[in-house]
Amino acid sequence: MKYFGGCDVGSTYTKAVIIDENGKMVANTTLKSKIIAQESAEMAMKEVVSQVPELSSSKDLTYLIGTGYGRNKVPFADENISEISCHAMGVHVTNPSVKAIIDIGGQDVKGIAIDTDGTVKNFAMNDKCAAGTGRFFEAMARSFEMSLEDFSKLSLKAKNVIPITAQCTVFAESEVITLVGEGKPMDEIAAGIEMAVAKRCFVMSKKAGATDSITLTGGCAKNDGLKAAIEQVLKLKVVELSTDPQLMGALGAAEYARQKGLAR
């Protein structure tokens, strides 16, 4: 059996996936990224390879592709491919009927339209500001003195929404701290935060060509409050993926590795 790997070195988390020659995922891992991207890649690959008895190191893989923020820092990869292409391919092999993605990463937000073969038809990207990214949600959860998981569910309890007007992460955090200090309902503040991010996703979804449904990838795809807010703002169904949405970049990289490895 031949095995193929994908290593997605993100700014916040590093993900690695191994699939077999039939495209079945046989191993995966998600680790907090280190400051040095190469160390993150090495740790993730060591962990994921240990899950496959037939492999002793990443060198035993038939083909390996690096992707993500630190894709150029995966020295043992055969090549690297952009995370935009890899997220599209990852979603395509997971759910071929989905044709539009909003990928909310640690430092940017992307809208991606998928072609029928899993390649990218069109995309838009907001990388000028951290507002609406994983870093933004980390800052908001910190303001609430809550875990990200608890914060993601808080807004679902709200009957009203307190709008968050600041567009900058720093100013938004200050605004939230002020509202909390004034004794405003925390669930309603959280609902305002989720709604503000959902509105930022509106333009991305249009550029991604979303018409009736969309899916979310990246760690923020696990934010239940954000999913509900996006459905409300975009008037689109958010399709749940059968595989961890945070693994889509690594899975897409592994699928590209499979295609290229089998073609050699």
Locate the DSSP E strands across 109-241. 109-114, 120-126, 213-217, 237-239
Q: How many CB atoms lie within 10 A of CB 32?
A: 9
What residue ranges do the domains of the chain occupy? 1-95+244-263, 97-240
> What average pLDDT score do residues 5-27 get?
96
Locate the DSSP E strands across 33-99. 63-67, 79-80
Say what the pLDDT of residue 239 is: 92
CA angle in degrees (0–180, nearest 5) for 106-84-218: 35
Supply the mean pLDDT for the chain.
89
Task: Give the confidence band of 216 by pLDDT, cuts at 50, 70, 90.
Answer: very high
Say what the pLDDT of residue 167 is: 66
* Residue listed under structure tokens 């740790």: 43
Which phi-psi region, left, alpha or beta, contains residue 145 (left: φ > 0; alpha: ψ -120 to 50)?
Answer: left
pTM of the model: 0.90
Which residues, 6+ apart, have CB-to-CB distance to 24 below 8 Å? none
95, exposed or middle or buried, with CB in 10 Å at 0-12, 13-18, 19+? middle
Say what the pLDDT of residue 95 is: 95
What is the CATH code of the structural domain delimited by 1-95+244-263? Answer: 3.30.420.40
Say what the pLDDT of residue 204 is: 79
Asked whether 94 and 255 are in contact (CB, 8 A), the reply is no
Specify the higher pLDDT residue, 219 or 50: 50
What is the CATH code of the structural domain delimited by 97-240? Answer: 3.30.420.40
Helix then strand count (H, E) for the chain reads 8, 10
Confidence check: pLDDT of 217 > 80: yes
CA 113 → CA 7, 94, 116, distances in Å? 22, 15, 10
Q: What is the pLDDT of residues 85-113, one digit of tens each?
A: 999 999 999 999 999 999 987 778 889 99
Confidence check: pLDDT of 37 > 80: yes
